[in-house]
Amino acid sequence: MKIVGVCACTVGIAHTYIAQEKLEKAAKNAGCEAKFETQGSIGKENALTAEEIDAADIVILAIDIKIADTERFKGKKTIQVSTDVAIKSPNKLIEKAIQVVEAAK
Q: Catalytic: 9?
A: yes
Amino acid at 3: I
Q: Which helix (H) or strand (E) is 60 found in, with range?
A: strand 58-63
Alpha-carbon gap, residue 87 to 8, rounded angstroms: 12
**CA 72/CA 32 separation, integer angstroms:** 21
Q: Which residues pair with 81 in a beta bridge?
A: 62
Instruction: Please state, in angstroms and as integers, the Cα–Cα distance from residue 49 to each residue in 13, 37, 64, following that order.
Output: 22, 10, 22
Catalytic residue among 3, 6, 7, 9: 9
- Give catalytic residue positions: 9
